[in-house]
Structure 1
């Protein structure tokens, strides 16, 4: 039964309900037929689930580039009229400066579509009881910053995670419902959220993936069902669409890559 929907300082925008806590027994029946993307990897030590912040690749590059060209052409045309026909250089500069603000939401959309990795996997290491997020960071206020954009993996304790189902309506012409599941990291012993990470675009998929993670972390790989679809190698261009091949490959930092795939007493082994 879903929790009553009332305000809580921990909960994100559009919160609907919490999924079962990490160490609660999962009751959801996993439908492997519906899992079009099976786990990337499963063994005795870790489970790796695929993830993508963007629902569809290519829209940002194609649509954003078209909007940039259209906006630039429009600004130059109006500035030309102001300069030539009315000879108002001051108005032309003000208009171009004001119009340049419109570039602000477009450029980061294009940059994300180009630079976001082809997969942003999450590794659940049951022997360490830690979860490793291949996390892509971005900052829309600093459009061209190198420090504020890029991959910086983060690691959290499994017991400190809470998966939350969210649903909000977004202005999409005639309206649109956006549903997703996010993972909140809670400071132990409190309700303070120290980080919040995207999990899935679809609530049902999020529930399925979260149940897989629970089963694996609690019982091991033998508790997982047999998957219908084979895992995808996101670094193998032959398995991806051309637009995905443009995106950067997944390259974990060496130290965290080894740690996330090994037991506590096997840090130096592969």
Structure 2
């Protein structure tokens, strides 16, 4: 997206537009040009921030001993490139967690169809079904199998599951992914980091 923003900006003949607008005394066209340039600049800023502001990963931690879920939650508003986007780590009781399967259809420019799917974890207010927060568990991946694995771990423990693979460092990114290499590292608050990895 960052490169798309740069491609849109660099060929703009700004000076020619301004000169022509004043020579023709066509102020409505001049203000249209300025508005268009402002829109392109906004898009470039937005594209740049979308690439480098989110952390390298947004991990979830499940603590069976405490019966809690911990989420490295990234908060942003896409329409405001000047707002400070930030990570707000949160913790919820396991009893508040629900799973929602989702599927989304989209059309391509060539007339094809793109289908995306995944599992979203929804957090409900205690004693209600009102959703107060959501996190992605999987996208175009293991789907219900990932949810079944998590449920089995939280309810029965690791002995009921096949041995997990080697843990992956969320800050390890491919060398060729410039956006992820510029993105901030995952760094849990110290107290939450300790709590999420230990028993009460």
Structure showing the higher helix proportion among its residues: 2
Please say if residues 134 and 252 of structure 1, whose CA atoms lie closer than 8 Å, have aligned partners that are also in contact: yes
2: distance between equivalents of 1:169 and 1:78?
42
Q: 2:176 aligns with which of 242, 247, 252?
A: 242
Give the structure-1-normalised TM-score: 0.64
1:56 counterpart residue number: none
**Structure-2 change in CA distance of 1:61 and 1:94 (3 Å):** closer
2: distance between equivalents of 1:162 and 1:224?
21
**Structure-2 change in CA distance of 1:185 and 1:236 (3 Å):** closer
**Structure-2 change in CA distance of 1:61 and 1:95 (3 Å):** closer
Give the structure-2-normalised TM-score: 0.83
1:200 counterpart residue number: 138
2: distance between equivalents of 1:102 and 1:160?
43
Please say if residues 123 and 131 of structure 1, whose CA atoms lie closer than 8 Å, have aligned partners that are also in contact: yes
2:123 counterpart residue number: 185
1:122 counterpart residue number: 60
2: distance between equivalents of 1:111 and 1:241?
20
**Structure-2 change in CA distance of 1:82 and 1:178 (3 Å):** farther
Greater RCO (Cα-Cα under 8 Å, separation 6 or more): 1
**Structure-2 change in CA distance of 1:190 and 1:83 (3 Å):** same
1:251 counterpart residue number: 187
- 2:114 matches 1:176: yes
Shift of 1:257: 1.0
- Give secondary structure in 2 for the equivalent of 1:235: coil
1:35 counterpart residue number: none
- Give secondary structure in 1 for the equivalent of 2:10: helix
1:219 counterpart residue number: 156
2: distance between equivalents of 1:105 and 1:196?
27
2: distance between equivalents of 1:78 and 1:225?
67
CA RMSD of aligned residues (A): 2.5
Deviations 1:198-230 (A, max 9, x none): 22221x423232122112111222222134x53
2: distance between equivalents of 1:172 and 1:129?
43
Shift of 1:81: 5.9
Q: 2:102 aligns with which of 162, 166, 176?
A: 166
Shift of 1:83: 2.5
**Structure-2 change in CA distance of 1:107 and 1:206 (3 Å):** farther
Larger deviation: 150-159 or 163-172? 163-172
Shift of 1:89: 4.1
